Amino acid sequence: MTLEIGPGVLGLLGPNGAGKSTLMRILATITRATEGGVTWNGTDIAQKPDELRQVLGYLPQDFGIYPNLTGQEFLEYMAAIKGMDAKTARRRIEELLIVVNLVDAAKRPLRGYSGGMKQRVGIAQALLNDPQLLIVDEPTVGLDPAERVRFRNLLSDLAGERIIILSTHIVSDVEATATEIVIINKGCQVQRATPGKLLALLDGRVWQWVVPEEELARLKQASLVSGTVRRADGIQVRIVSETAPAAEAHPVAPNLEDVYLSLVSQDGGGR
């Protein structure tokens, strides 16, 4: 895998075990690569990790908090660890608490926070130092729909002169925010393109029609079924195919889920 990343939101998509989180941990200077290297503005991050850490914001997929601290105290602690001066940190934390909608809960111990609230604390700590490189791994896990939309908007707003790397299984999150998408499988890059170019790959190759329920199993064996919806008159199926798979099938506009499933299945599926 060779990637050169510039400003914008880079979405990482891939099946479980594809290596997304490992790649992100390597980029976040947490894990040392056994082979290859990563440079930040020409500096090898394995040799000089602090060059990147100064400007890094990282939200891991699985992280914990200190339960006895309040949300605000935890952010103050993280700001001290990141080497921020107290005044700047205080101002930044005030803003972040508003952004992640935790103002009312800021003075409460973290042990009483729900999963979504903890996730929002994680998002806030990643943004503390106004990072030039923001790496977020499954950031919307546990967030309710409103908070998910809020976070997606936030990512879009933040993407300007900074690099955001976003990994998620929620394809709509990537679709809404990513300026570029990398699909990886088994540790290798399968495809890298803008969302528009990825969608163009399947132009005229996604079909949809209604089949009887007993037909579905046979279709799944024979074709790549990218979606099903149960209806009163049967099952509406969505299939990726070069040619029309049935006389009743009609072409529909592809979505990123179709593209992702198609590319991963061509590459031999996930682990």
Q: Which residues bind other proteins (CB under 8 A)?
A: 25, 28-32, 50, 53-54, 56, 58-60, 62-69, 73, 76-78, 80-86, 88, 91-92, 95-96, 98-99, 101, 104-105, 108-109, 112-114, 116-117, 122, 125-127, 129-130, 144-147, 149-150, 153-154, 157-158
**CB closer to other proteins, 51 vs 257:** 51
Q: At closest approach, how far in Å is the CB of 213 from other proteins?
A: 31
Nearest distance, CB of residue 91 and other proteins, angstroms: 7
3-class secondary-structure state, position 194: coil
Range 68-71, long-range pairs (CB < 8 A, 24+ positions): 68/109, 68/110, 68/111, 69/109, 69/110, 70/106, 70/107, 70/108, 70/109, 70/110, 71/97, 71/102, 71/105, 71/106, 71/107, 71/108, 71/110, 71/113, 71/117, 71/121, 71/124
The C-alpha atoms of residue 88 and residue 187 are separated, in whole angstroms, by 40
Cβ 23 vs Cβ 1: under 8 Å: yes
The CB-of-96 to other proteins minimum distance in angstroms stands at 7
**107 vs 197 by CB, closer to other proteins:** 107
The nearer residue to other proteins, 179 or 236, going by C-beta atoms, is: 179
Closest contact distance (angstroms) between CB of 4 and other proteins is 22
**Are the C-beta atoms of 184 and 20 separated by less than 8 Å?**
yes
Residues 6+ apart with CB under 8 A from 4: none
Closer CB to other proteins, 14 or 49, in the complex: 49
CB 30 → other proteins: shortest distance, Å? 5
**Euclidean distance between CA atoms 238 and 229, whole angstroms:** 9
In terms of CB distance, is 20 or 53 closer to other proteins? 53
Q: Is the CB of 61 or the CB of 228 nearer to other proteins?
A: 61
**Closest approach of other proteins to the CB of residue 48, in Å:** 11
Query: What DSSP letter does each residue of 209-265 carry, written as one string?
Result: EEE-GGGHHHHHHHSEEEEEEEETTEEEEEEE-SS-SSTT-EE----HHHHHHHHHH
To the nearest whole angstrom, how small is the minimum distance from the Cβ of residue 240 to other proteins? Answer: 31
Which CB, 176 or 210, lies closer to other proteins?
176
